[in-house]
Structure 1
C-alpha cells in the first residue's frame, strides 16, 4: 500500500487581532478522503504533534464541505487528527509523497521549520512528489532557505494577494504569500477569478491556490504518484 504523509500547521495566533487561525479544515478533509478512498495509507504530522489548531472560520456553515461532514462522523479520522506525529520524528523514506494543507498557520511555523524544509528536499531529491495548497506553499520558503535558488523559475499556485485582501486578513499576517514567493523568483499563477480552484504542476511539485483547490491538488498528486510509482 502506498503511503502519504500530511504535514499540518501547529500555529494558531494571528497578528494585530484576537482572531485565531490554524488548519483550514476543508483543506485537510478534502485531500484526506481523496487519499483514503483511493486506497492510500495516511500519516499526519505537525511541528508540535498532537491536535493541530483549526481555523474557526473554516467551521462556519458557509465554509463546510461534504468532507467536513463526513469527518464529523469518522472517529478514525478524528483520532488521527488529534494525535499527529511530531514532525522531527518523520523520515521521508517511509512515505511515497507528502501533502501540505493550508490555513494561515503555515506562514508562521512551516515557513521557518527546518525539519519541514529538509523533508521536502528529501522527497524531491528522491523523486517523490510534494503537494501544498493555499498557505501550505509557505513551507517552500524554508526549502529556499535550505537550498538558495530553489524557488527561482518555479511555477506555483498559492493564496493570492487579492484573496488575502478580500478575506480581510492582509493586516493580520507578517507578509503576503504570493508577493513573498515572487520576490524569491517564483512565478505564481492564479485563477482568473479569486477563490476559484486552480492548481499548478511543476515537475514533482503540485500546488493549489485556495480551499477549493485542495481536492483537485490531491487528485493531481494521486495521478502523479501513479505515473511515477505505478498504479496501486
Structure 2
C-alpha cells in the first residue's frame, strides 16, 4: 500500500538534518511526499545546518557530519522543494469576530474546513520539520493549527520535530482552548539546547538572542498533570511516540523520528520512548 506524507516547512529556514532524516526513511519506503509552506514560498535549509564546521553553542561541538552536510546541500540545491503546496491557498483563515457579517463568514469557514477534510483523506500522516524558522511562521499560524486538527479528526498521526513541536502545543479546539497534547507524552527542544545568542532566521533583517520562548516550559505546561515532557538531556536521542503524536527533540533525533513515523504507519507502533 502506497503511503502519502505531508511535510510542513518554514519559509524562514529549516534545520537540514531534520528534513533529511525522516525523508530518507520515506524515500526508502517509496512514500509519496508533498512539501508545504505557509504561503507557497520555497523553503531553504539554515546555513549552519549545512556546515560541518559550525559548532553548536550549547553542545560545544559540531552537530552536522560532513556526510549529512553534503546530502542536505544537495537536497537544498535540487528542484525537489520547488513549488510547494501553499497552505494559505488550501486552508481557510478563521474570520475575526469584528468582521462584517461574522456569522455567515464563520459558516463559510466551517464549510471550507469540511472541504479541507477531503484533501486530508489523501494523506497518511503529516510532519512538521524543526529549526528556528517555525518560531516565525508555523508555531502561531492558525492555518497550520487547523491542518493539524484536521489530521487528528481524520484519525491520522501527526509528527513534529524540535521547534516544530510548538505547533502541537498551540493547536487547540476553538471552544475549550485546551492543547491537543494535554495528557500526552512528548519531547522537543530542551532548555539546555537553547542558544543564549544568535538565533537566526532566513528572509529577515534581524538575529535575536535566545529564542522568544522556552519550548520546554511551554510543553511542560501544555501536557498537563497527566502528561509529561521528556527532555532526555544527556541522552543521545529523544523520540517519543504517544499516539497519535510522534515527536523528536532536535537534530540528532531526526533519523530516529523518521523510523518511528514509518513504524507507526506500517507496524502499528503506538508507544515508544517513555
Q: Distance in 2 between matches of 1:71 and 1:107?
A: 21
Q: Distance in 1 between matches of 2:26 and 2:213?
A: 31
Structure with more of its chain in helix, by fraction:
1
Q: What SS does the corresponding residue of 2:260 show, helix, strand or coil?
A: helix
**Which digits, 9 at most, give the CA deviation of each residue in 1:29-82, with x for residues without a partner?**
12111101111010000102131142121111242463542354469x821213
Report if aligned partners of 2:16, 2:72 keep a CA contact under 8 Å in 1: no
1:163 corresponds to 2:203: no
1:206 corresponds to 2:246: yes
Q: Distance in 2 between matches of 1:81 and 1:92?
A: 20
Pair 141,224 (structure 1): closer, same or farther in 2 beyond 3 Å? same
Structure possessing the higher radius of gyration over alpha carbons: 2
| TM value normalised by structure 2 | 0.71
Pair 158,138 (structure 1): closer, same or farther in 2 beyond 3 Å? same
Q: Distance in 2 between matches of 1:113 and 1:57?
A: 25
- 1:63-78 equivalences under 5 Å are 63-64=64-65, 66-73=67-74, 78=78
The partner residue of 2:265 within 225, 228, 231 is 225
Report if aligned partners of 2:10, 2:37 keep a CA contact under 8 Å in 1: yes
1:31 corresponds to 2:59: no
1:128 corresponds to 2:144: no
**Which digits, 9 at most, give the CA deviation of each residue in 1:98-154, with x for residues without a partner?**
011100111222111111111111112212111111111011133136462223222
How many pairs were matched up? 217
Report if aligned partners of 2:9, 2:36 keep a CA contact under 8 Å in 1: yes
The partner residue of 1:179 within 204, 212, 217 is 217
Report if aligned partners of 1:134, 1:208 keep a CA contact under 8 Å in 2: yes
Moved more, 153-162 or 53-62: 53-62
Q: What SS does the corresponding residue of 1:111 show, helix, strand or coil?
A: coil
The partner residue of 1:105 within 103, 116, 133 is 133
1:148 corresponds to 2:139: no
Pair 26,87 (structure 1): closer, same or farther in 2 beyond 3 Å? same
Moved more, 139-148 or 179-188: 139-148
Aligned to 2:107: none
Stretches of structure 2 that go unaligned for 5 or more consecutive residues are 54-63, 92-118, 200-207, 270-274
Q: What SS does the corresponding residue of 2:79 show, helix, strand or coil?
A: helix
Aligned to 1:55: 46
Pair 173,145 (structure 1): closer, same or farther in 2 beyond 3 Å? farther
Report if aligned partners of 2:248, 2:254 keep a CA contact under 8 Å in 1: yes
| TM value normalised by structure 1 | 0.83
The partner residue of 2:232 within 186, 191, 213 is 191
Q: Distance in 2 between matches of 1:160 and 1:74?
A: 27
Stretches of structure 1 that go unaligned for 5 or more consecutive residues are 12-21
